[in-house]
Amino acid sequence: MAHAGLSRRAAAAPLAPRASVAGRAGEAAALTLPAEAELRAFAHAAAHLLVERVPRLQGARAVSRRPGVGLQTLDHRDYVPGDEVRHIDWRQSARARRPIVRRYESESVGDWTLLLDASSSMAAGGGAAWRAGARLTAAMAYALLQLGHRVGVAAFGTRVLAQVPIGRGAPHYAAIARTLSTLHPAPRGERSELTSCVALLPGGGSALVVSDFLAADEMRAALAALRQRCRTLHAIALRDAATVALPATAGGGEVELVDVETGASRALWPDDAAHAAARHARDTMTARLRAFAARSGVAFSDGDAAQPWQRVLLTHLLRASAHR
């Protein structure tokens, strides 16, 4: 029999968008993070969208360093049109052979925690969702660090699988990139438990969750718990057509679907009705999550894992900025 995926919501829907099909569930393609030039271009394009205008919650903690005009140098970055010429560091520019500007300490900015789903469903169907999620996380970390924010990253499955504690600066991005590059979601048995990350949030900061959100309640309870600890909470749901498509069988025979996270299985006939039910189940889960996010003040968007990561992330930030 061919093997596909079964959602934990199988009791409510006849079929699942959850795990991989035999023959497609092998080793996922290697992960390549965005190049430095791509990251710099994205950070420049996204800078105005990452300016936080939301007032701090009562009792929220702020970090006392951010780029601005102050007395002490914070760090350096590439010159972009609009920067003041007086902030150019001519010695650094001569070494780099391109204009480099100083950034200074100023008022406070909040901490950011980026949470990436590394459960088995993210690796299903060839792992497109995992690769897209890792690239989104890396690019967001780079852009935030360029703005002087402190950033921490955690990958989660049933528990926290990897963590880069909160920090700042170019060396910190290098640590984040190394961690993301070495992560490989288990092809079987790793569930999505976002609640394992709640304790990682420092309180009063901001967070971004990148996931396929294929869980029993689309992780809504966990998102609600995170929202209580956040000044702002973002969520990007990645869609991957390969995790919804059912396997074709010779003569249209019965197939067995196996949940890569829980091991639960069921048999069905992959006819037109089953294909339509799979798409409907995924669309229903996304609609529930979107409605929850609107009620709870979570900046939410869903994106296609096959699209360029720049488009997915900039679209999300534009939507989030429009609703602030």
Residue spans of the domains in the chain: they are 3-41+108-322, 67-104
CA dist 165 and 181 (Å) reads 16
CA dist 210 and 195 (Å) reads 14
Per cent of the chain over pLDDT 90 is 51
For residue 224, give every residue at least 6 positions away whose Cβ sits within 8 Å of its Cβ, in sequence order, or none.
296
Residue range 62-84: mean pLDDT, rounded? 59
Which tokens hold the place of 44?
A: 């420049």
> Considering only 136-140, 237-241, 315-319, which range has the smallest mean pLDDT?
237-241
User: Which is higher by pLDDT, 90 or 5?
Assistant: 90
CA dist 98 and 118 (Å) reads 38
**Cβ pair 267, 254 in contact under 8 A:** yes
Looking at residue 247, its pLDDT comes to 66
Most confidently modeled of 92-106, 109-123, 242-256, 275-289? Answer: 109-123
Q: What angle do CA 11, 15, 18 make, to 5 degrees?
A: 100
CA dist 166 and 203 (Å) reads 13
pLDDT at residue 232 above 50? yes
Per cent of the chain over pLDDT 70 is 77
Looking at residue 261, its pLDDT comes to 80
pTM value is 0.76
Looking at residue 17, its pLDDT comes to 35
Looking at residue 324, its pLDDT comes to 66
Q: Which residues, listed in sequence order, are joined to residue 308 by a DSSP beta bridge? A: none
Residue range 205-209: mean pLDDT, rounded? 95
User: Which is higher by pLDDT, 173 or 244?
Assistant: 173
Q: Which CATH class for the 3-41+108-322 domain? A: alpha beta
Looking at residue 275, its pLDDT comes to 74
Distance between the two ends of the chain, CA-based, in angstroms?
Answer: 50
Looking at residue 272, its pLDDT comes to 77
pLDDT at residue 302 above 50? yes
State phi, psi for 68 to the nearest 5 degrees: 175, -150
Looking at residue 125, its pLDDT comes to 82
